[in-house]
Structure 1
């Protein structure tokens, strides 16, 4: 078969099982209950004002060539202090940062244990490494300890990789207990803070700092494309970790550095968040209101995070419910298998600090009406 025929055949399978993906531009008339802009920082003009003094349009190269600028190193110093770490290193996205860390640090003879619901970039990263890798049941400390006990005596290092908050279920990792297990079995913890960056704590320094365990985490990955409302990511950890990634992470070595405008936006957004703790307070009130109004018999996520959702047993039901909410003026998206497991398809609902109380009430009213 010609390659186009093979591709078309695969696409037809997606269409037949209801999982075919298309690109859509959000209707500006619809109320945003979909984006990861939890605090609305992507929409704050004060953060994204044009830069007064022109510096350059792009960094013009990778940072090991001509792309390393003073503004990169200034931001990394700022981020290390903001996230209470010894040092930090900027990557171009959270996806790339996870690939960079997990493909280069675990060595042959090491073992990487990842939560089964970890983001695909974590799974892809460990596949690129030379280490063995295994999944443990989601947030299941007993299963994790069983695997730690199994591999502890084999020699080599053990890495535990989790997300502080999971992107589809909005639930938190039991990090305090994981730290205890890591100490018991001499393991190293890597935490993806993508969905807690800029949220937890008065300043938005993430879940690890909120629990005051940042010094017990080998590497923390912070993403700026969600609640920060910008783009890029940073790995926070020791100076040795930073130097190692500069020397061995291909995703850092061979990538053109972030431009000046992007770097300044990250710093401005985090400063803005630090000076506006009321945004997190308002978001938490909207989350409480959502749970208060929504009928309790609806199959929904049990989440204290802005990530919420209504669960279905197949793709078609999720699509039908999503279309209903779209038609009534709400911007939401269905999450279909294979992105989530079969039987756990859902409509993902993201609450925001900028959603008014009336908007949240109206959304819940329509959800309740649908299930009547």
Structure 2
């Protein structure tokens, strides 16, 4: 077998020198402070039984058998998309295989040559990748800074004239856990004729009575498109773009990540239908448990005197800044030895000097677990 080309070896070597080389790992038997399973749906045995019952009542093929434009658009897709558009208060919903596919498909096809995409500097890599695949010009604006966004719009309009302007943000940012002032941002975009796109990945199922932050704030009519995902609070897989019926029709015709890939299998769509029903039944209780854990975590951080290292966040994502790949990896390894699955986030995923421990909180975490992991972390700094 041919050896890895020299340039690729050099890139791997650079990662190794910077202690940033990644590898696949499987950690089992530890207290979960790492996964995106915020409400515990992925581990819920009652939910698993309900999915099995659903498939018994409505038997399905094992595979999708093709792309959605060919043989893969089975009847459960129609059922799910009809549910999603009603539940999330949207004119339409279009399901993709993942949040990554949804963002790549949307941003590579919707903004056109001559248009401008202005994106928050901390948006997810899938958004950036989609933008790079498209033909529009793009510029980042300072994190959650409407003033900087305004300057970019004024500068762009002075140069570009009649270009369409798309503004992109997240309702909960995946690496900092904070949120924009979405009401102010929506009003700003409406006043300035911009199309607002909100990635709701870490808010789906958590806010707005099991919907998203846009719904909670009543901004559905001011948002051009929302991307919701099912691999976090729903404990499943896949994503959807919410927007107008015209937008859905456009994406079906031009979003290559939808057109040229095998569709999700029927059992995945069945899982989503059952999970959403379960969310409607017990979601408020689970979200309340999650919020209590978030409040308790933040209280303990203050009482232990370690608030200075934490990024301010009201979400399930709580991050402790520990500069340096080697240092944050070392502390993460010690926490794992003590029985806690807490993962390090390394540069270049985040800026150098902003490496961090990322704590993901869940409805099923106990206060005793939260206290122990934070006390263990504090001891690492003494």
TM-score tier by shorter-chain length is over 0.9
TM-score (norm 2): 0.94
Partners of 2:16 and 2:23 lie apart in 1 by: 11
SS in structure 1 of the partner of residue 320 of structure 2 = strand
**Which of 358, 362, 370 is the aligned partner of 2:372?**
362
- Tell me what 1:261 maps to: 267
Q: CA deviation at 1:3?
A: 4.2
TM-score (norm 1): 0.97
User: Are positions 1:246 and 2:261 aligned together?
Assistant: no
User: Are positions 1:87 and 2:92 aligned together?
Assistant: yes
- Tell me what 2:118 maps to: 113
Partners of 2:4 and 2:300 lie apart in 1 by: 52
Q: CA deviation at 1:291?
A: 1.1
SS in structure 1 of the partner of residue 331 of structure 2 = helix
Q: CA deviation at 1:16?
A: 1.1
- Tell me what 2:178 maps to: 171
Partners of 2:10 and 2:155 lie apart in 1 by: 43
Q: CA deviation at 1:288?
A: 0.9
Partners of 1:256 and 1:68 lie apart in 2 by: 10
Partners of 2:271 and 2:24 lie apart in 1 by: 27
SS in structure 2 of the partner of residue 359 of structure 1 = helix
- Tell me what 1:336 maps to: 346
> What does residue range 184-203 of structure 1 map to in structure 2 within 5 Å?
184-202=191-209
4+ residue stretches of structure 1 with deviation over 6 A? none
Partners of 1:207 and 1:340 lie apart in 2 by: 25
> What does residue range 1-372 of structure 1 map to in structure 2 within 5 Å?
3-28=4-29, 30-49=30-49, 50=52, 51-52=55-56, 53-153=58-158, 154-202=161-209, 204-276=210-282, 277-294=284-301, 295-297=304-306, 298-372=308-382
Counterpart contact for 1:152–1:158, Cα < 8 Å: no
Q: CA deviation at 1:2?
A: 6.6
Most deviating of 132-141 and 293-302:
293-302
Partners of 1:7 and 1:102 lie apart in 2 by: 28
SS in structure 2 of the partner of residue 112 of structure 1 = strand
Aligned length: 370
Q: Deviations over 1:210-245 (max 9, x none)?
A: 111011100100000111100000011110011010
- 5+ residue gaps, structure 2: none
More helix by share: 2
